Amino acid sequence: MLQNLQNLYRLCMILKARGNWPLIRKSKNQLWDFILCRNGLIQKPFFSAMIYWFQMLKSLDILIWRLETFGFLFSPRLSNEDKKHINHLLK
C-alpha cells in the first residue's frame, strides 16, 4: 500500500516535469477513457478500473511506458525543439 502511494506521488512529479500538456488539454476525454478503462482495449466497470490502477501503481515503469506510448508523457531524451515539433499539428 505504501509503495503504491509513493509511486502515485512519483507519477505526479513525472507528469509535472514531462507531461505533454498541450496534448493532455486537447484530448482529455481520451485520457479519461484510458484512466477509467472505457476504451476499446480494456473495458471495466469503475470499481474494477480503480483496482486495476491500484495494481498498475506497483510497477511504475510500465505505467510510465504506457503514458509515453500514448504521447501523454515526453521522453526524457527530447529537447524543447523536439517537443514543439511533436505538437505542431495540435492547434
DSSP string of 7-74? HHHHHHHHHHHHB-HHHHHHTHHHHHHHHTTBSSS-B--HHHHHHHHHHHTT-HHHHHHHHHHTTSB-
Structure confidence by residue, pLDDT tens digits, 18-61 = 999 998 888 888 888 888 888 776 788 888 888 888 888 888 89
pLDDT category of residue 16 using cuts at 50, 70 and 90: very high
Q: Is the pTM of this model over 0.85?
A: no
Q: Which amino acid is at 6?
A: Q
